[in-house]
Structures are given as structure tokens and as C-alpha cells.
Amino acid sequence: MIATNKKENTEVQTALSTAKESVDDGEDVTVAFTNSKKTFPVSICKQDPEGNYVAGAVLQIKQRDTVVHGWTTVEDRTETTGLAPGSYTLHEASAPSGYLAAEDIAFTVGNDGTITTDGPVSQVTMVDEKSGVTAKIQKTDGKDALSGAVLQLLDDAGSVVDEWTTDGTGHAVNLSAGKTYILHEKEAPKGYDYAEDIAIVVTADGAVTVDGKAVDTVTMADIPLASLPNSGAAGTPWWPFVAAVCGMALAARPGRKKKEGPGDGTGKE
């Protein structure tokens, strides 16, 4: 007698025919069949808020507490794996430097292969927010802290991210990894010239750099405006100095030659 644990179908009939030919009558044989669930391709994409691929994230697909697939994201590529119908969780085990780990995403694979999160989707997309970076901005006269300057922080599109008036204590600004900013002086304090703009580049790993060098504090220095010349003594008016210079200039002019007379050379006739 031959027993089966699955409903007979074409494959079962074939197996039974083969088994009957290989056993004697009256001998018991058990034929077991294991049906594998059909799998469907599921694509996972790791992005930043601007829609760019994020490399270096360690991701896992879990079913209950079991990791069914794990990988590290690479540049410009989605990950595709085969999953059987069921419920799953996309989990970020480790975020790359400069990013915050995203929250888990629950998704299902239907019996027809449909992928669903909050609704049907073509792929599961997980977005990593960039981690914030704090930098200090200090305004000086080249030596000491300087108050009264109106400064602006501009993003790479020229939009004002922050604006403040310096008070000598420094100002903290929040920056994003992978971004470039411009520190601009909108108004200089009285008696000082405007400073040139400073480009601030925040690397992907969150380092704040100026001219390619990592810094903790971005310092912008104003140069005092040039004053009129003086004699060097405090409180001495400037006009005697100017008069003296003018007098020396007149004295240095060549004199006119006297006209000589026709007879004795004295200019007299």
C-alpha cells in the first residue's frame, strides 16, 4: 500500500507510478512532497530627503523576529530579493555617518505579489534624515569679539537660513551634513569695513570645513576703516599737518628765472 500526505496531482501520479514499479506488492511505502511557497521580487531603496541614494546603511528584512535578508546599501542601486507572501518589517540596523536611523517600515507581500505599505507600492523606500551639525560663528575685529554686525547664513540656493546681530558672545547655527553655506555680512558695525563672504562646507560625515580645513568655530573678521592722517599725538588737530605738507610742496617748486636787461645783465636799462 502506498500512502501520500498531499492531494494527488500530475506530479503525484508520476511519483506513484515510479514507486509502484520499484516495490513489491504488499510493501508499505510513504511518499512525501514539500511544496515551496512561490516568491516575488521585492525592491528596497535607501534615500535621503532629496531623493539621492544613501550608501553604507545596514538594512534587514525581518519576519517576526527572524532576519530573512540583510545587506549594506551601495551607491546608485536598489536591493531586490525574493519574498514569499506574508508580513515583513524593514529595519535599519545601522545608519551611515551623517544620517539618522529611520523608523521601521511594515510591509506585506500579497499572494499575487502586490507590495503594500500604507498602500500599494512598486518598491519599499526608506528615507534617512541627515543628522544636524552645530557650528559656532564668531565676529571679531581681527583680535577681539565684535558686536553690532548683522550677519546672515545662506544656503546653496541663496536663501536666508539664519540672521542675527552679533553681541560679542558668538552665535550657534544648525547645519546639515553634505550641505554648503555662505556666511554673509549684511551690515558692518560703525567704523568697520565689510568682511568678505565665507563658504562653509559640511561634509557627508558632519565635519564643518572652511577652505578645506575642519573647524569648530567659523570666525569672520572686520577691518577698521582707515582714519585721516594725524601728527601722532592724541588730540592734536590734523590741519597743521596738512598745511605743513602743502608748504613743503610749494617750496619745492622751481622759481621763475628773472628777465635780463639788454645792457648790463641786471634786467635794468
Cell numbers of 214, please? 575642519
Instruction: Report the pLDDT averaged over residues 98-112.
Output: 93
Note whether residue 148 is domain-resident: yes
CA dihedral angle for residue 185, residue 190, residue 192, residue 197, rounded to 10 degrees: 0
**Residue 173 and residue 120 share a domain:** no
C-alpha cell at 140: 571679531
Which amino acid, residue 128? D
Same domain, 140 and 202: yes
Domain boundary among 74, 100, 127: 127
More confidently predicted of 162 and 97: 162
Q: Which of 71, 113, 77 is nearest to 93 (CA)?
A: 71
User: How many structural domains does the chain have?
Assistant: 2
The residue among 81, 100, 127 that closes a domain is 127
Instruction: Please state, for a pLDDT cut of 70, what percent of the chain lies above it.
Output: 71
Does residue 255 sit within a domain? Answer: no
> Helices marked H in the chain — which ranges?
10-22, 239-251
H runs (alpha helix) in 197-264: 239-251
- pLDDT of 187 over the 60 cut: yes
Q: Is residue 55 part of a domain?
A: yes
Any domain includes 250: no
Percentage of the chain exceeding pLDDT 90: 58
Provide the CATH number for the domain around residue 185.
2.60.40.10
Looking at the domain assignment, is residue 32 inside a domain?
no
- What is the span of the domain harbouring residue 185? 132-221
In a domain, 176, yes or no: yes
Which of 70, 95, 127 is at the close of a domain?
127
| Predicted model pTM | 0.48
Do residue 115 and residue 82 come from a single domain? yes
- The pLDDT tens digits for 73-100 are 998 899 999 999 999 999 999 998 778 8
- 123 and 136 inside one domain: no
Q: Is residue 30 part of a domain?
A: no
- Tell me the mean pLDDT in the region 25-49: 79
In whole angstroms, how far apart are CA 56 and each of 43, 75, 77, 94, 97?
Answer: 17, 8, 12, 8, 8
Q: Which amino acid is at 251?
A: A
- pLDDT of amino acid 120: 96
Same domain, 68 and 136: no
Residues 45, 122 within the same domain: yes
pLDDT at 159: 95
221-262 confidence digits (pLDDT tens): 999 987 434 444 444 444 454 455 455 555 555 554 444 455
Beta strands (DSSP E) in the chain are 2-4, 29-31, 40-47, 58-63, 66-72, 79-83, 86-94, 105-109, 115-116, 120-121, 124-127, 132-140, 147-154, 160-167, 171-176, 180-187, 198-202, 208-210, 213-214, 217-221
Residues in the chain, total = 269
Q: Does one domain contain both 117 and 156?
A: no
**Does 117 share its domain with 141?**
no
Assess whether 47 and 82 both reside in one domain: yes
Q: What is the pLDDT of residue 235?
A: 41
Q: Are residues 217 and 137 in the same domain?
A: yes
245 occurs within a structural domain: no
What backbone phi and psi angles, to 5 degrees, belong to 91? Answer: -125, 135
Cα-based torsion angle of the residue sequence 96, 99, 103, 106 in order, rounded to the nearest 10 degrees = -50
